[in-house]
Structure 1
Amino acid sequence: MSAESIRAGVELELAARVVELVRQAAGPSAEAEVVVRHDAEALTRFAVSMIHQNVAEAVTTVGLRLHLDGRTASGATTVVGADGLRGLVERTVAAARLSPPDTTWPGLAPPSPLHHSAGYHGSGEHSRLDFGFDEATARATPAERAELVRDFVSAADGLETAGFCRTVYTSAAFVNSAGQSVEGRTAEAAMDGIARAGGADGVARLASGRLSDLDGALLGARAAAKARAARNPVELPPGRYEVVLEPEAVSDLLANLSVFGFNGKSYAQKQSFAELEADQFDPSVTLVDEPLGSRDEHAPGLPFDDEGTPRESLVLVREGVTKAVAHDRTSAAEAGAVSTGHASGMSRTWGPFPNHVRLEASPAATLPPVDESIGAVAASARPLVARMERGLLITDLWYTRVLDQKTLVITGLTRNGVWLVENGEVTAAVGNMRFTQSYPQALASGMVLGIGGESVLLPDRWSGTRYAAPALHLASWNLTGNASG
């Protein structure tokens, strides 16, 4: 089933049909929640400066979670005909009767309207939300993606390139036996590519709710400029360095802070650094989860979670003070809180976490003038670089792994360009280095020297996640060795 052929409301009809089948099979006392998702993803990949793969996949999945006589079971199917739905219900009812008692069952989400807004304030009562949805992106063709790839390759001006251009469309509905019934849809486009010059790589990435927002030529030129500037790197000794992290690197901070820190299950089990109402970050730091998209990017996700709870903006950190963690209904019951709309298929196991986090940018007027001569540097990083006396400019972090979850000490490597900065000027390319750093400590009071004036929406690192990040100027980053040894 393609994005073009799916009609509005079909997922809602499927979900309601499954709830009715549950009533027939298990009686009125059974508590059931059904999520139906149609996901269509198309990917155009290129390597050695040529498109080598163009693939598309579309699938409709029906997920059922059932609570019966104090026991819980789940099931799913991609067979959406009458026999497939009936088989799903029969299997799940049988599994529930054989399951151990579930003392953590939080009950079903009550009927609640969706929040019809992006930004900090939700309003409106609608069973279906298409706010900010871009039909052209949902229906994007291989030719449109290929055009962006062509522009990227051409702008690299002879350098070897590789990467992808992707469009994703999702239409979903939720129905439960308590009367909650909601639906929505979302679309997103992303481009991620590298250029290579003399063994040095440069990267450019961008995501948006609209394919038309992606400029292949601009991204290709940026990747090429980075690659050329990263040639002939020098090695620096390990130690603590002042750093400017470009948005690509900052997105890794946001991802790990979200998954391991602002995770409601980790918080309830005291495995998170988060302490509500505590000054844990620099006063310049404000983090907001924006599942409905920001006013600037218009890239909304689905307006409800897998338990049918409406989503809205959630302020995680305001001016350095930790204000909230993400909850599904299970973690909220354990913590004595309410669900924030972060249930997913894996949240009961791994915990609910925010997956549309933005680090708020600083007003551009407070930053020093931009030095346009620093051509390979992201726009939001240039003013920060211009005022750094001596430190490192880091494009990207990768292969990051948690060493200690409670303090969120992370180890990983730099990637796709590191440079030495002296008196506001890039003076040398630097070889990649390993780091070991507590992310909350790096963002603690007094450690944030500046935040860029523009947040950039970046492609997901984990499925279903996206983070909007400006550049970040930090007083100290612990680099523990060179990547070569």
Structure 2
Amino acid sequence: MSAELDLATRVVAAVRQLPGAEAEVWVLHTAQALTRFANSAIHQNVADASTTVRLRLHLDGRTSTGSTTVTTPDGLRAMVDRTVAAARLTPRDPGWAGLTPPTALPAGPDGITLGCGYDTATAQASPAERAVRVRDFVRAAGGLETAGYCRTTYRSAAFANSAGHAVEGRAAEAAMDGIARLDGADGVARTAGGRIADVDGAALGERAAAKARAGGAPVELPPGRYEVVLEPAAVADVLQQLAYVGFNGKVYTERQSFAEPGAQQFDLSVTITEEPPGELGLPFDAEGTPRGPLTLVEDGVTRGLTHDRRTAAEAGHAPTGHATPGARSFGPIATHLRLAPGPGSPPVDAGPVVDPSAAPLLGRVERGLLVSDFWYTRVLDTKNMSITGLTRNGVWLVEDGEVTAAVGNLRFTQSYTQALGPGQVLGYGTGTSVQPERWAGSWYEAPAVHLRSWNVTGNASG
């Protein structure tokens, strides 16, 4: 039994002394280490480790939650007492969906129970091992100013409830995110995965530097609709917004989601899945529900949503393993979305481009934009997934299949679902890459995508 599972079972045992109480306990230990660099040199090594115990209690028809990072017997007892006191004052909870029954965790393709096959070398990576990736990034940039980070994260979690369900699992992640700069032009490269051995700092540094060198003397383009090739980092933002407010079961049950299960809302070539956790993610959610593969869009047809127990009960579906400690407020959120070209993908031709993954797409572009990255994106309307945001880290004008000029950063206002809608996807790049979220715990796997139309609403002048 892990230390985390021991904590969870001790809290459940304490709650069982209360007649009629239902309890679930989620314990998460996180150890994250970060090596930051700026001005082409490492300037900070930081590491943090914490254990959080979270109790959700249903007592006399009322639900309350409490948490603590004080894992001594007195600390756990105080958390239980606070949570019980809160339950006495809380309004009745008619939406309580009950506890997860005892359920075994699924096994991965290698037969190992999910959550047990994490990479130990990544979990125990030293500052020196992260520094090697930073050194390689800086050297590959060939003298350009560089900045960014390399991080490793280890998570060990356990769940137990008063229905007799108890599970535990572990996960590790390695990620690197860096930029290179030349005369005010920035280029970016980032990656994430379950093994630090797979993080190639030199390849990332070379890619970021190539983007920066190609970004000089940008021109300004007027607002309007442009054909676009989005590189994987930009596509990851599309997936992130779909995960947070698109396929979110809470948003759906509140009738604020775009999703219409069974309807063709995307191009025939679009298939979006929530991937099994593997080495990167934990094998169960904050309610102890096992996680597995989930198809959200198949050949352009919306098929599924992410649910915790509460939203699943409201929607008449089974929970999908996406409960989080903040799910009551934010809803159940997918953590590893993957966009994969479906059988309807059109053929593409090769052409020159800064990022090789997008190279096959440019030959088909008559006049459009190659976009590296989005940032500061905000949802305007969840019903049609209208998003506003900015480009960054490289935009280029493409004419007759050739990159002809760098372009200044642009503001856009675009429905993400319409951009991926029927007839709007013109092609996909070669392969996919895993893009990390800013904080460890969510990842997005995507190819470059060629889209028919993207709505640019502003430029550097306004």
**TM-score, with structure 1 as normaliser:** 0.92
CA–CA separation in structure 2 for the residues paired with 1:236 and 1:277: 39
Change (3 A) 1:305 1:457: same
What do residues 278-316 of structure 1 show as CA deviations (whole Å, max 9, x unaligned)?
Answer: 0000000000001424xxxxx431000000101101000
Given candidates 471, 474, 478, the residue that maps to 2:448 is 471
Q: Is the 8 A contact 2:429 2:447 kept in 1?
A: yes
Cα deviation, residue 380, structure 1: 2.2
CA–CA separation in structure 1 for the residues paired with 2:27 and 2:72: 13
CA–CA separation in structure 2 for the residues paired with 1:270 and 1:139: 45
Cα deviation, residue 103, structure 1: 1.1
CA–CA separation in structure 2 for the residues paired with 1:185 and 1:307: 16
Change (3 A) 1:440 1:301: same
Matches within 5 A, 1:35-50: 35-50=26-41
- After superposing the two structures, state which structure 1 stretch, 455-464 or 216-225, moved more: 455-464
Matches within 5 A, 1:35-434: 35-117=26-108, 129-293=114-278, 299-361=279-341, 367-368=347-348, 370-371=350-351, 373-374=352-353, 376-377=354-355, 379-434=356-411
Q: Is the 8 A contact 1:362 1:451 kept in 2?
A: no
What do residues 405-449 of structure 1 show as CA deviations (whole Å, max 9, x unaligned)?
Answer: 111111111111011111211111111111110010001000000
Cα deviation, residue 367, structure 1: 4.2
State the AA in 1 paired with 2:89: L
RMSD: 1.7
Any gaps of 5 or more consecutive residues in structure 2?
A: none
| SS at structure 2 position matched to 1:165 | strand
Any gaps of 5 or more consecutive residues in structure 1?
A: 1-7, 294-298
Matched, 1:13 2:6: yes
Q: Is the 8 A contact 2:348 2:427 kept in 1?
A: no
Cα deviation, residue 461, structure 1: 3.9
Change (3 A) 1:405 1:182: same
What do residues 231-255 of structure 1 show as CA deviations (whole Å, max 9, x unaligned)?
Answer: 1011111110000000000001001
| SS at structure 1 position matched to 2:16 | helix
- State the identity %: 64
State the AA in 1 paired with 2:2: G
Q: Is the 8 A contact 1:33 1:65 kept in 2?
A: yes
CA–CA separation in structure 2 for the residues paired with 1:455 and 1:476: 22
Cα deviation, residue 130, structure 1: 3.4
CA–CA separation in structure 2 for the residues paired with 1:355 and 1:484: 37
Q: Which residue of 2 aligns with 1:3?
A: none
**TM-score, with structure 2 as normaliser:** 0.97
CA–CA separation in structure 1 for the residues paired with 2:431 and 2:438: 20
Matched, 1:481 2:458: yes
Change (3 A) 1:361 1:283: closer
- After superposing the two structures, state which structure 1 stretch, 353-362 or 10-19, moved more: 353-362
Aligned residues: 462
Q: Which residue of 2 aligns with 1:440?
A: 417
